[in-house]
């Protein structure tokens, strides 16, 4: 054997055979739907653009980014736009050596170097030889291209397409083009689902009806459509019905081996959030119903009460903190934009996974709709719940001192515009409660025309840890018991009616936000009481300015306010859904009293000129009795019968 080796004339290998690149990567199930074609074409357009070297494709986990990137790579090879197309998966746990080895295999590079730096230099030299499209899939954080060996800024022949779940990854890596991959339309989702669930025109009519409902629950998320479709293919009608029931009740389906679970895919996105605050805010969003468009003001007031935001500093700082966290969740595609600027919503499957993770973390959330609340005592593990959220409650009342929820921090009851009753002792065992929410309608700047009756139970005075109390849109009657809630920071009575605002409420030294917008108060002494509070935010409506406005007080800490000084508030609508400093005045001597109003709000003396106009974000003046001239960022005059708005 030794002699044979000595006599052998074999030449050593001069190079390693290159792998075939992207040619065999694409999925046989890939379908270019109309919504996908738009994104596909945008990416190809940017790849052809010589001024673009970095392209970022982002979207929620399971939206099909990897599959689309592979198809783009395949098309680039077909069009011969690049000499090389290299695709490598980065993954959540960053391993530079593994990335380098994958790239080397695809490029046919054999390196003798042992150090990461030496390998990076060899890869960089290789990438400068050929015009190369480098597809970096599943990027979770900013990458150090120099450490890997990617000469993106040294060589125009090298272009990068990266896929990620986070928009901030695209911005941190300075992508010149950032493209979002959205959900499929309902028609596209149905077509994809039929392909994987083996639904045909010949399938039973009843089965197709259930299948339609199942795919609607997937809300256009490809991984959910494909996985659920494969899970249910060849199953009988009863199994389809059971699956639909589970999905509608936010219960997780059993996914067969061999298929990627959409739940684990989305859980990875949630687990990867940088700290507990975005996760906690996401769990808070999950207490709302499926498809509910959550107003950011609700998110702020509820989150503040739970201590998620604003644990120090002013309400203004807390608002900035909340908006920053909402942006993180949006950029991670875990929250979506609502139809209005000040609203957000969750994908149903993200919500299901958030509820699941919350339970794993010991933050069990109970969400029910159209439930007889008397049945709460029969709920499994009710004593372990941190949150109880009941929607469209149309009958029954909370059990009289029978509901033992020692860990409950958040109780929400939506009464669907019906009269609601609570036994006097029903809240006695909720010692840990931080926020109590009784709602009839959504958060709105519209006026409430109907108010169901609701009497506060005597046991509310036992809630000494409560920070946010929201009683929205009710006929409340006597609310004097509220003066006992010493920890209260936010009192929201928006759209409700009551006898009077108790004077003893001035004892609530921690109260920072008072919302009396749209309230009907039988004894109009509320405004003298308000003047004694150290409020940072105030929302109210006065029918008669001269009689009721507190002339001897000033709101030195007030940062946000909406004040309507007019009888018919229906004459004016806000130009935006998020007024922060808005004043509407009807029928008084503006020249003198505008100054008075400004001084009350700001706690300083000023004349009705530029300083006043600068202070207000939105200003409405009408029926003033005399022509008024104002100077500010823009000069204007207001005739006695006219009105104007000033917006920053």
Q: Residues 473-502: what's their mean pLDDT?
A: 92
Q: Residues 542-556: what's their mean pLDDT?
A: 55
Q: Which of 473, 477, 538 is nearest to 502 (CA)?
A: 477
Q: Say how many C-beta atoms besides its own lie within 10 A of residue 458's C-beta.
A: 15
Q: What token pair was written down for 214? A: 């199942």
Question: 527 near 549, Cβ under 8 Å?
Answer: yes
pLDDT of residue 392: 87
The greatest distance separating any two alpha carbons of the chain, rounded to the nearest whole angstrom, comes to: 117
The two beta strands, 294-295 and 636-638, are unpaired
Q: What token pair was written down for 290? A: 């499926």
Q: Say how many C-beta atoms besides its own lie within 10 A of residue 167's C-beta.
A: 20
Residue 450 CA to residue 527 CA, distance in Å, equals 24
Least confident of 191-200, 478-487, 500-509, 533-542: 533-542
DSSP 8-state code for residue 367: E
CB-based contacts of 252: which residues, under 8 Å, 6+ apart?
246, 263, 352, 356
Residue 263 CA to residue 129 CA, distance in Å, equals 43
Q: What token pair was written down for 503? A: 């004077």
Give percent of the chain with pLDDT exceeding 90: 43
> How large is the angle between the packed helices 315-331 and 296-305, nearest 10 degrees?
120
Please say if the pLDDT value at position 75 is more than 70: yes
Q: What token pair was written down for 87? A: 């695709």
Please say if the pLDDT value at position 460 is more than 60: yes
pLDDT of residue 358: 92
Residue found under tokens 């929302």: 539
Between residues 273 and 259, the one the model is more confident about: 273
Q: Residue 638: beta bridge partners?
A: 628
Residue 407 CA to residue 138 CA, distance in Å, equals 39
Residue 258 CA to residue 227 CA, distance in Å, equals 10
Residue found under tokens 């339970």: 359
Domains of the chain: residue spans and CATH: 34-180 (3.40.50.300), 187-263 (1.10.8.430), 276-357 (1.10.10.10), 413-638 (3.80.10)
Residue found under tokens 């505008």: 594
Please say if the pLDDT value at position 17 is more than 70: no
Q: How confident is the model at residue 613 (pLDDT cuts 50, 70, 90)?
A: very low
Least confident of 51-65, 456-470, 607-621: 607-621
pLDDT of residue 29: 58
The highest-confidence range among 251-260, 430-439, 628-637, by mean pLDDT, is 430-439
Tell the burial category of 484 from Cβ atoms under 10 Å away from its Cβ (0-12, 13-18, 19+).
Answer: middle
**CA 545 to chain centroid:** 39
The two beta strands, 581-586 and 560-565, are parallel
Least confident of 55-64, 204-213, 248-257, 623-632: 623-632
Least confident of 63-72, 85-94, 557-566, 595-604: 595-604
CA dihedral (37, 38, 39, 43) positive or negative = positive
Between residues 563 and 201, the one the model is more confident about: 201
Least confident of 78-92, 199-213, 303-317, 614-628: 614-628
Between residues 205 and 599, the one the model is more confident about: 205
CA dihedral (491, 390, 367, 459) positive or negative = positive
Q: What token pair was written down for 376? A: 């709460």
pLDDT of residue 580: 66
Question: 46 near 177, Cβ under 8 Å?
Answer: yes
Q: How confident is the model at residue 20 (pLDDT cuts 50, 70, 90)?
A: very low
Count Cβ neighbours within 10 Å for each residue of 563-573 and write b for 16 or more, e otherwise.
bbbbeebeebe
Q: Say how many C-beta atoms besides its own lie within 10 A of residue 147's C-beta.
A: 14
Q: Say how many C-beta atoms besides its own lie within 10 A of residue 641's C-beta.
A: 10
Q: Which of 295, 444, 287 is nearest to 369 (CA)?
A: 287
> Can you point out the beta strands (E) in 117-198?
132-139, 158-164, 177-180
Q: How confident is the model at residue 370 (pLDDT cuts 50, 70, 90)?
A: confident
Please say if the pLDDT value at position 610 is more than 50: no
Residue 189 CA to residue 551 CA, distance in Å, equals 62
pTM of the full predicted structure?
A: 0.82
Query: What average pLDDT does the chain have?
Result: 81
Question: 466 near 485, Cβ under 8 Å?
Answer: yes
CB-based contacts of 278: which residues, under 8 Å, 6+ apart?
325, 328, 329, 332, 334
> Can you point out the beta strands (E) in 145-205?
158-164, 177-180
CB under 8 A, 24+ apart: contacts of 401-405: 401/425, 401/426, 401/428, 401/429, 402/377, 403/376, 403/377, 403/429, 404/429, 405/429, 405/430
Question: 625 near 587, Cβ under 8 Å?
Answer: yes
Please say if the pLDDT value at position 571 is more than 70: no
DSSP 8-state code for residue 392: S
Please say if the pLDDT value at position 166 is more than 80: yes
- In 460-589, where does DSSP find H-type helix? 526-530, 545-548
Residue 299 CA to residue 306 CA, distance in Å, equals 11
pLDDT of residue 38: 92
Question: 525 near 501, Cβ under 8 Å?
Answer: yes
Q: Which of 550, 563, 620, 618 is nearest to 586 (CA)?
A: 620
Least confident of 53-67, 107-121, 126-140: 107-121
Least confident of 177-186, 332-341, 392-401: 392-401
Q: Residue 435: beta bridge partners?
A: 410, 468
């Amino acid at each position: 054997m030794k002699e044979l080796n000595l006599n052998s004339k074999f030449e050593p290998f001069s190079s390693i055979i290159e792998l075939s690149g992207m040619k065999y990567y694409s999925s046989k199930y890939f379908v270019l739907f109309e919504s996908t074609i738009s994104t596909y074409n945008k990416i190809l357009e940017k790849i052809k653009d010589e001024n673009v070297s970095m392209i970022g494709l982002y979207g929620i986990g399971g939206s099909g980014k990897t599959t689309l990137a592979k198809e783009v790579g395949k098309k680039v090879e077909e069009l011969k736009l690049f000499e090389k197309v290299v695709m490598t998966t980065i993954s959540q746990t960053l391993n530079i050596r593994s990335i380098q080895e994958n790239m080397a295999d695809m490029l046919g590079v054999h390196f003798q170097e042992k150090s990461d730096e030496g390998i990076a230099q060899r890869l960089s030299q290789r990438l400068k030889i050929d015009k190369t499209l480098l597809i970096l899939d599943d990027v979770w954080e900013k990458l150090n291209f120099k450490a890997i060996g990617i000469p993106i800024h040294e060589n125009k022949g090298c272009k990068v397409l990266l896929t990620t779940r986070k928009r901030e990854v695209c911005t941190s890596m300075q992508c010149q083009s950032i493209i979002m991959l959205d959900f499929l339309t309902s028609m596209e989702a149905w077509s994809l689902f039929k392909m994987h669930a083996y639904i045909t025109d010949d399938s039973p009519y009843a089965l197709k009806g259930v299948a339609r409902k199942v795919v609607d629950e997937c809300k256009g998320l490809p991984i959910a459509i494909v996985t659920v479709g494969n899970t249910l293919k060849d199953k009988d009608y009863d199994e389809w019905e059971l699956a639909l029931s589970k999905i509608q009740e936010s219960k997780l389906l059993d996914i067969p081996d061999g298929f990627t679970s959409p739940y684990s895919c989305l859980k990875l996105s949630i687990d990867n959030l940088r700290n507990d605050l975005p996760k906690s805010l996401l769990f808070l969003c999950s207490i709302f119903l499926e498809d509910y468009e959550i107003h950011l003001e609700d998110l702020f007031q509820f989150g503040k009460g739970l201590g998620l935001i604003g644990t120090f500093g002013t309400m203004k700082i807390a608002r900035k903190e909340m908006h920053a966290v909402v942006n993180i969740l949006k950029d991670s595609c875990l929250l979506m934009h609502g139809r209005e600027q000040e609203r957000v919503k969750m994908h149903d499957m993200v919500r299901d996974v958030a509820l699941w993770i919350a339970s794993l973390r010991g933050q069990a959330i109970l969400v029910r709709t159209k439930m007889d609340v008397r049945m709460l005592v029969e709920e499994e593990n009710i004593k372990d719940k941190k949150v109880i959220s009941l929607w469209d409650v149309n009958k029954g009342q909370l059990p009289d001192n029978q509901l033992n929820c020692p860990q409950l921090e958040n109780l929400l009851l939506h009464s669907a515009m019906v009269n609601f009753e609570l036994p006097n002792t029903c809240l006695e065992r909720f010692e840990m409660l931080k926020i109590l929410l009784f709602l009839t309608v959504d958060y709105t700047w519209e006026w409430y025309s109907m108010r169901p009756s609701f009497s506060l139970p005597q046991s509310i005075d036992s809630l000494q840890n409560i920070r946010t109390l929201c009683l929205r849109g009710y006929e409340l009657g006597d609310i004097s018991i509220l003066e006992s809630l010493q920890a209260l920071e936010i009192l929201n009575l928006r759209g409700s009616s009551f006898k009077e605002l108790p004077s003893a409420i001035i004892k609530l030294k921690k109260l920072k936000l008072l919302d009396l917008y749209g309230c009907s108060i039988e004894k109009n002494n509320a405004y003298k009481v308000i003047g004694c509070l150290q409020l940072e935010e105030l929302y109210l409506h006065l029918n008669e300015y001269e009689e009721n406005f507190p002339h001897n007080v000033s709101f030195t800490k007030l940062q946000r306010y909406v004040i309507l000084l007019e009888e018919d508030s229906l004459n004016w609508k806000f130009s935006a859904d998020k007024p922060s400093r808005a004043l509407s005045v009807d029928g008084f001597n503006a020249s003198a009293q505008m100054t008075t109003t400004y001084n009350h709000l700001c706690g300083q003396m000023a004349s009705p000129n530029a300083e006043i106009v600068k202070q207000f974000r939105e200003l409405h003046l009408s029926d003033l009795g005399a022509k008024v001239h104002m100077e500010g960022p823009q000069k204007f005059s207001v005739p006695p019968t006219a009105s104007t708005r000033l917006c920053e």
